[in-house]
Structure 1
């Protein structure tokens, strides 16, 4: 293959790059923002899609964030690619903060007091493996997180909607102006030729 790497990266190297970028977080953020800005859709559709992905990444449904973001984006009329890109809000660096805050907010809504995540309770609920447990064993842990994810997810989605909407609108407007300024000299030359003829 023409652009294939000479030395195939190991699984550990792939995992390291997924969590910690090769060059810098700033370069990765610039690349990611350009991917979002260059989508071909209306600013509203891109922003709604990204907000749907951000909302889905706040929920405790690990492994289903893409599917959930696609469903939400379809319902609200958002861009599906932007929804997939919006799920990057939930990543290995932000998940501990998201889970702790959704649990705290959910327990405050359900029980009237903000409970901290108790590690002994988590060990009790998850002892023996996550997949071997029944839903009623996991419900005391997941229920506050799910309830807390709704208000925090709505706040996160609203924040990213406005951020992405105004960024995409400004980018698309600037791009249209650049393209029209390139076409203008050609149109002026053609008009000059018509006048000469």
Structure 2
């Protein structure tokens, strides 16, 4: 097949690229931003879908963020592709802070106090626990994270909705105006004004 890679990437390589971009984070952010803006749907549906993905990324359901985002987007009638792109809010750079905040918020809701939690320490303990501990051993840590994910996810989702809605609305309006101007210019070239035609005939 034309343009197919000579050496197909392995599953581990594809997984690594999915969670850690091959290029810089700034370039990857611009890429995801353009993907969101170019979706063919209403700004409301795109923003709802992205917000669903952003909310899902705040949960400790590592490995199930896409499924969670799709389920939430289906419930709120958001765009599914935007939901998948919204999960990019949770990435190796933001997960330490997301998990630390959800843990602290959950502890504050349950016990009325928020313990001091180092983001990198919480991230390391949670990541190690996923592979080394059972669900029963992880539950004391997962419970406050699930509870804390709700208010944090609502805040992140709301902010994401507003930003994405405004961005998509401006992009689509500029695109419509550009297409309208382009169509008007083309129409003008095909059908020149009558006055100019008369003058040209008279001068000839």
TM-score (norm 1): 0.84
Quick check: which has more Rg, 1 or 2?
Answer: 2
Q: Whole-Å Cα distance in 1 between the matches of residues 93 and 9 of structure 2?
A: 22
Contact 1:103–1:116 (CA<8 Å) still a contact in 2? Answer: no
- The aligned counterpart of 1:112 is 112
Aligned to 1:82: 82
TM-score normalised by length of structure 2: 0.81
Per-residue displacement from partner, 1:116-147 (whole Å, max 9, x unpaired)?
Answer: 45979x59x949834xx244x43211111011
Question: Structure 2 vs 1, CA of residues 11 and 61 (structure 1 numbering), >3 Å: closer, same or farther?
Answer: closer
Residues 41-87 of structure 1: CA distance to partner in whole angstroms, max 9, x if unpaired?
Answer: 00011001000000011011111111111111111121011001101
SS at match of 1:173: helix
Aligned residues: 191
Which 5+ residue runs of structure 2 have no aligned equivalent? 198-204
1:103 aligns to 2:103 (yes or no) = yes
Q: Counterpart of 1:60?
A: 60
**Residue in structure 2 matched with residue 24 of structure 1 by the alignment:** 24
Give the secondary-structure state (helix, strand or coil) at the position aligned to 1:139: helix
> Per the alignment, do residues 65 and 15 of structure 1 end up closer, same or farther by CA in structure 2, a change over 3 Å counting?
closer
**Please, what is the CA RMSD of the aligned residues?**
2.9
Q: Which of 112, 129, 137 is the aligned partner of 2:132?
A: 129
3-state SS in 1 of match to 2:164: helix
Flag the 1:63–1:165 CA change in 2: closer, same or farther, 3 A: same
